[in-house]
């Protein structure tokens, strides 16, 4: 444990513990940019070239227990349909993959006919989700290195100079049921304990569990309005605040919002629709041979899930490696100024409100380039993602019969030609 002083600012540094296969200590240094930056009210002094984070390892016994628990938990889970086995829904699959690569894209809204595999596809994403570093025992999946993703208690421990035990954990995917109460979503405060013992007794909700993960809402267009407002607030600020009887508790709630629904059951409020980074339209497969293949594959899975999953294991692992590589190389992907200007021109000529369309299109194009193993965005990448980024942001014209995705593509070729 060390601390650095710059002027009057004294900062306790993180001492993090990583799971390791041996009992030897391993150390890692992170060179940080110079300067002082405020993260949620915490002043962090950064000195270039110095080690700000010292990292130690967990004992072998603890690690072996964790590994055994992980394996046991995985084997006891309900078998999930493999992601590579889903055919005929390439647009939806691509949107989901791009959001896993870059969570800042802002989630996916999947709308389409009933029985087209929307929920199956989203839940099959769980196996592909990479592991992230979290503070052990923390209900908010706090990031040990980024104060923006830390719960209040973890921040206080950091400032006191306490060491943090860090473990690797799969990114969470939390299902938000339609009948969920606001207390279940946001969390509850035990007023009696707070008054009698003088402590903030908080029971975290689904938003806490979804922090740094995925929040999936099936039939999102049937969600109660007050829950929609809660999701809007959290999606906008990245924080969830619960207030009861003069007691206020906040915690980070940054998540990828994924929603699915059937347009026949009702439209989404424009405010919520705009919060989704991408929009995927799912249609019923019309090709007879492909339909037969889907039915046969599903029958194989129902008959013997384990054997079916094993048959796709190689493809699954290949895709996992591809996602991991894309996440690592994402920061180095570049997009030319000329392409940025053309993206904004398409958005302007389509009368897209706000700048979210421009931002999301740039992010999605970079994520696609990273997925394809390139360090530079090309026009083809933009053509692939721009309908999904803009179609749900266009103003609805009741007299317009043309599909909004087609309208975006036509404008793209007009500007990029």
CATH number at residue 262: 3.40.50.300
Q: Are residues 341 and 267 in the same domain?
A: no
Q: Are residues 222 and 357 in the same domain?
A: no
In the block, residue with structure tokens 């740039």: 362
Residue 396 CB-density burial (10 A; 0-12 exposed, 13-18 middle, 19+ buried):
exposed
Residues 162, 193: contact at Cβ < 8 Å? no
Gap between the Cα atoms of 324 and 375, Å rounded: 15
Confidence at residue 20, expressed as pLDDT on a 0 to 100 scale: 40
Mean pLDDT of the chain: 78
Question: Would 411 be classed as within a structural domain?
Answer: yes
Q: Are residues 204 and 124 in the same domain?
A: yes
Top pLDDT among 76 and 243 is at 243
Q: Residue 231 half-sphere exposure, CB side, CA atoms within 13 Å?
A: 32
- Pairing type for strands 164-170 and 131-135 reads antiparallel
Confidence of residue 241 (pLDDT cuts 50, 70, 90): confident
DSSP string, 124-154: HGGGGPPEEEEETT-TT---SS-GGG--HHH
- Give 272-289 pLDDT, tens digit per residue: 787 788 999 888 888 899
Q: Are residues 103 and 239 in the same domain?
A: yes
Confidence at residue 38, expressed as pLDDT on a 0 to 100 scale: 37
Q: Are residues 253 and 349 in the same domain?
A: no
Gap between the Cα atoms of 191 and 197, Å rounded: 10
In the block, residue with structure tokens 């931002």: 359
Q: Are residues 234 and 346 in the same domain?
A: no
Q: Which residues contact 296 (CB under 8 A, 6 or more apart)?
A: none
Q: Are residues 234 and 120 in the same domain?
A: yes
- Give 102-147 pLDDT, tens digit per residue: 988 988 999 888 888 888 898 888 888 888 888 888 888 888 887 7
Q: Are residues 244 and 118 in the same domain?
A: yes
SS (H, E, C) 77-100: CCCCCCHHHCCCCHHHHHHHHHHH
Which CATH number fits the domain that encloses residue 355? 1.10.8.80
Mean per-residue pLDDT, 195-206: 75
Confidence at residue 93, expressed as pLDDT on a 0 to 100 scale: 93
State the catalytic residue, choosing from 157, 356, 391, 393: 356
Question: Would 273 be classed as within a structural domain?
Answer: yes
Mean per-residue pLDDT, 72-93: 78
Gap between the Cα atoms of 16 and 51, Å rounded: 13
Long-range contacts of 406-415 (CB under 8 A, 24+ apart): 407/350, 408/346, 408/350, 409/383, 411/346, 411/349, 411/350, 412/346, 412/382, 412/383, 412/386, 413/383, 415/342, 415/345, 415/346, 415/349
- Going by the DSSP 8-state scheme, the letter that residue 14 receives in this structure is P
Mean per-residue pLDDT, 376-384: 94
Confidence at residue 243, expressed as pLDDT on a 0 to 100 scale: 79
Q: Are residues 176 and 238 in the same domain?
A: yes
| pLDDT exceeds cutoff 70 at 14 | no
Question: Would 117 be classed as within a structural domain?
Answer: yes
Counted domains in the chain: 2
Q: Are residues 221 and 343 in the same domain?
A: no
Gap between the Cα atoms of 352 and 182, Å rounded: 33
Confidence of residue 412 (pLDDT cuts 50, 70, 90): very high
- Give 309-361 pLDDT, tens digit per residue: 999 999 999 999 999 999 999 999 999 999 999 999 999 999 888 888 999 99
Question: For residue 241, what are the domain limits?
Answer: 79-129+170-283
Confidence at residue 62, expressed as pLDDT on a 0 to 100 scale: 43
Top pLDDT among 191 and 370 is at 370
Of the residues 266, 283, 300, which one is the last residue of a structural domain? 283
Q: Are residues 191 and 278 in the same domain?
A: yes
Question: Which stretch of 56-70, 188-202, 230-244, 288-302 has the lowest confidence by average pLDDT?
Answer: 56-70
Question: Which stretch of 45-59, 254-268, 359-373, 387-401 has the lowest confidence by average pLDDT?
Answer: 45-59
Is 184 part of the annotated catalytic residue set? no
């Amino acid at each position: 444990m060390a601390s650095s002083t710059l002027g009057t600012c004294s900062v306790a540094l993180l001492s993090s513990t990583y799971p390791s296969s041996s009992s030897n200590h391993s150390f890692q240094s992170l060179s940080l940019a110079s300067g002082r930056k405020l993260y949620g009210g915490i002043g962090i002094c950064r000195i270039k070239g110095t080690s700000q984070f010292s990292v130690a390892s967990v004992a072998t016994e603890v690690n072996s227990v964790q590994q055994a628990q992980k394996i046991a938990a995985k084997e006891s889970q309900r078998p999930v349909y493999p992601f590579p086995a889903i055919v005929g829904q390439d647009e939806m699959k691509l949107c989901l993959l791009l959001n896993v690569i870059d969570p800042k894209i802002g989630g996916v809204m999947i709308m389409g006919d009933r029985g087209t595999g929307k929920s199956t596809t989203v839940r099959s994403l769980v196996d592909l989700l990479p592991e992230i570093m979290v503070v052990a025992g923390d209900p908010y999946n706090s990031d040990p290195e980024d104060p923006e993703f830390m719960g209040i208690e973890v921040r206080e421990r950091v400032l006191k100079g306490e060491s943090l035990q860090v473990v690797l954990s799969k990114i969470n995917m939390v299902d938000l049921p339609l009948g969920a109460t606001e207390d279940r979503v946001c969390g509850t405060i035990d007023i009696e304990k707070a008054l009698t013992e003088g402590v903030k007794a908080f029971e975290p909700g689904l938003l806490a569990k979804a922090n740094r993960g995925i929040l999936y809402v099936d039939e999102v267009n049937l969600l109660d309005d007050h829950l929609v407002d809660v999701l809007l607030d959290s999606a906008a600020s990245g924080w969830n605040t619960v207030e009861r009887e003069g007691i206020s508790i906040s915690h980070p709630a940054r998540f990828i919002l994924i929603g699915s629904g059937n347009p026949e059951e009702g439209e989404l409020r424009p405010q919520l629709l705009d919060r989704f980074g991408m929009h995927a339209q799912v249609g019923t497969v019309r090709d007879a041979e492909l339909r037969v293949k889907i039915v046969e594959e599903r029958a194989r899975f129902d008959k013997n899930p384990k054997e079916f999953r094993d048959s796709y294991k190689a493809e699954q692992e290949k895709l996992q490696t591809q996602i991991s590589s894309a996440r690592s190389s994402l920061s180095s992907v570049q997009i030319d100024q000329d392409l940025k200007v053309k993206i904004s021109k398409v958005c302007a000529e389509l009368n897209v409100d706000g700048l979210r369309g421009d931002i999301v299109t740039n992010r999605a194009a970079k994520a696609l380039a990273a997925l394809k193993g390139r360090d530079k965005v090309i026009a083809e990448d933009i053509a692939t993602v721009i309908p999904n980024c803009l179609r749900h942001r266009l103003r609805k014209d009741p007299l317009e019969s043309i599909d909004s995705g087609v309208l975006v593509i036509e404008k793209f070729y007009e500007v990029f030609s």
